[in-house]
């Protein structure tokens, strides 16, 4: 019997980071010392108090049973408290918060709740690949919004034709941005809310990097904009803020009907996040935040090392105000993939080609600041030695 995959699977490109892993593993098998600057997975450990709270909670029998689908009310209440303190936004823990098994899960499921076959979804390009894939899984069609340097890697909302706006059900935004590391100020957020309100589009803001910020800069929540709660949902993750990528815990907040729609999908496809992890998440949100400040100082130091080194080599790169990524223009004569392969083959450095995030990412590669400063110094030295 021939096993035939569904069209939604056959028509997907290979998942970007899985393909990079294969390249890295092949180089490592050849004995090359690899410096992996490709995937945004923090190398810093989860703070010890969070780990200790997990150990305690995991030993409690009450946490061994099925959790509630929407998440523990204690966790959602702590999210509300954190949001009020961090952004000045008031939320209802019962109606406007849902616990996620990592923000990726919520982003992947939201189109299933609101997108019918043939509907459009406004997707940033370059952008996190899940926005596009989730749209296609739901039978929707992505309409790509180019993020270009001349517009500070913000969408040009005026360039979207009205015909697309009238068919659009969702708009994905992501600031601070992956992969470009761009930040959106209030004017951009207000324009997005105004446009979404006019055309009755649900705004889905991926805010996973708001706490990875430098030089005193504090990114905003889209829910700070007047009227945003009438149409927006914001996705947050504890992954980057507290170095908890493997724990799979996050949350979505915002419009009660949108949160409810996402929750309805989740009740049919998962059984909620392990309660012990949610309890550890409470510890993360309400505990000593000096760990977060330490995380920022660490990435800021790494940012400065790599930016300075790349600029000395003549590469075009901006010093980001947030995220732990650098978005770097490739040298003349290279494509994104060519330059990534060159750095891996000649210097043992793994990066992410920008075209893997969409066609508008061509001409760039992304570096992740997720190795120690000694390895970053070594990466700079290797690149200087091999040239291009």
Q: What pLDDT, on the 0 to 100 scale, is given for residue 14?
A: 66
Which of 28, 87, 118 minimizes the C-alpha distance to 348? 28
Per-residue pLDDT, 367: 98
pLDDT of 48 reads 98
Topology (CATH) of 7-45+290-386: 3.90.1150
Q: Which long-range contacts (CB under 8 A, 24 or more apart) does 73-80 make?
A: 74/278, 74/279, 74/282, 75/99, 75/251, 75/278, 75/279, 75/281, 75/282, 76/251, 78/281, 78/282, 78/285, 78/286, 79/236, 79/251, 79/253, 79/285
Regions in the chain scoring below 50 on pLDDT: none
Would you state the pLDDT for residue 16?
63
Q: What is the pTM of this model?
A: 0.96
pLDDT at 22: 78
Fold match flag (7-45+290-386 vs 48-286): no
Q: Yes or no: is domain 48-286 CATH 2.40.70.10?
A: no
Q: List the domain boundaries for the chain.
A: 7-45+290-386, 48-286
């Amino acid at each position: 019997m021939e096993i035939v995959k569904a069209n939604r699977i056959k028509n997907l490109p290979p998942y970007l980071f899985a393909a990079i892993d294969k390249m890295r593993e092949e180089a490592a098998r050849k004995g090359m010392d690899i410096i992996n600057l490709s995937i945004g997975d923090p190398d810093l450990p989860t703070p010890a108090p969070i780990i200790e709270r997990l150990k305690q909670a995991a030993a409690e029998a009450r946490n061994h049973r099925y959790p509630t689908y929407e998440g523990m009310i204690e966790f959602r209440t702590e999210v509300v408290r954190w949001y009020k303190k961090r952004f000045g936004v008031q939320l209802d823990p019962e109606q406007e918060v849902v616990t996620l098994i990592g923000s990726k899960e919520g982003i992947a499921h939201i189109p299933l709740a609101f997108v019918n076959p043939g509907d459009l979804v406004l997707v940033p390009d370059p952008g996190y690949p899940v926005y596009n894939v989730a749209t296609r899984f739901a039978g929707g069609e992505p309409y790509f919004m180019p993020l270009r340097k001349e517009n500070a890697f913000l969408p040009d909302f005026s360039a979207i034709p009205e015909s697309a706006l009238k068919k659009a059900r969702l708009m994905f935004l992501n600031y601070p941005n992956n992969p470009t590391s761009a930040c959106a100020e209030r004017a951009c957020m207000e324009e997005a809310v105004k446009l979404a309100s006019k055309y009755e589009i649900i705004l889905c803001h991926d805010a996973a990097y708001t706490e990875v910020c430098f030089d005193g800069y504090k990114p905003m929540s889209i829910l700070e904009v007047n009227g945003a709660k009438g149409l927006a949902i914001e996705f947050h993750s504890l992954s980057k803020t507290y170095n908890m990528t493997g724990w799979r815990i996050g949350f979505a907040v915002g419009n009660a009907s949108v949160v409810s729609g996402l929750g309805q999908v989740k009740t049919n496809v998962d059984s909620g996040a392990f309660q012990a992890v949610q309890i550890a998440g409470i510890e993360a949100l309400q505990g000593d935040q000096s760990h977060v400040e330490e995380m920022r100082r660490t990435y800021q130091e790494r940012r400065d090392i790599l930016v300075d080194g790349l600029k000395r080599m003549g590469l075009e790169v901006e010093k980001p105000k947030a995220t732990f990524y650098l978005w770097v223009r490739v040298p003349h004569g290279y494509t994104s993939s060519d330059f990534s392969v060159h750095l891996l083959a000649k210097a043992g450095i793994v990066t992410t080609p920008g075209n893997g995030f969409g066609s508008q990412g061509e001409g760039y590669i992304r570096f992740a600041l997720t190795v120690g400063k000694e390895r970053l110094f070594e990466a700079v030295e290797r690149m200087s030695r091999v040239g291009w």
